[in-house]
Every structure is written in structure tokens, then in C-alpha cells.
Amino acid sequence: MGKKKKSERKGKKQHKKTVRKKKSDYYEIKGNSVERKKQQCPKCGPGVFMAEHKDRLVCGKCSYTKWK
């Protein structure tokens, strides 16, 4: 019989600060035109941006994932 290991972790969770981005961060104004820097969710439509990950884009609203 082996020893049972307690795998309880208490107080080890680190809270990540969520940085709210300004809407202007998603756009880049070039002269008279505005360029979108972020991809928008095809499901939620304009206004809902995809969060960029290393190899994929994920919608924060409907969690639609688009692999790169």
C-alpha cells in the first residue's frame, strides 16, 4: 500500500489583473482611414474582437476559436 498524497493546493492561485484595453487600442488611425488591428468575431459580428493567442484567435463572447 502506498502513501496517499494530498494534492490540495490552497492559496496558490494567483489572480491575474485584467487589463481593460481602451477601444482605441483596437484601431489604428492612418490619415483619414481607420485600420482594424484586431480580428473580429465572425459569429458575433462587428464590435466583438478576437483575443489573440499564440496560435489561435478566440472570441471572448462566444468562445469561437479560429486556428491560425
3-state SS class at 49: strand
CA 51/CA 13 separation, integer angstroms: 23
Among 61, 65, 67, 68, binds Zn ion (CB under 5 A): 61
Among 28, 36, 62, 65, binds Zn ion (CB under 5 A): 62
59 is an interface residue for Zn ion by CB under 5 A: yes
39 binds Zn ion (CB under 5 A): no
What is the rounded distance in angstroms from the CA atom of residue 12 to the CA atom of residue 55? 28
Please identify, among the stretches 2-10, 12-20, 24-32, 52-60, the one whose residues bind Zn ion according to the rule CB under 5 A.
Answer: 52-60
Rounded Cα distance between 30 and 59, Å, is 26
Q: Which stretches of the chain bind Zn ion, using CB under 5 A?
A: 41, 43-44, 59, 61-62, 64
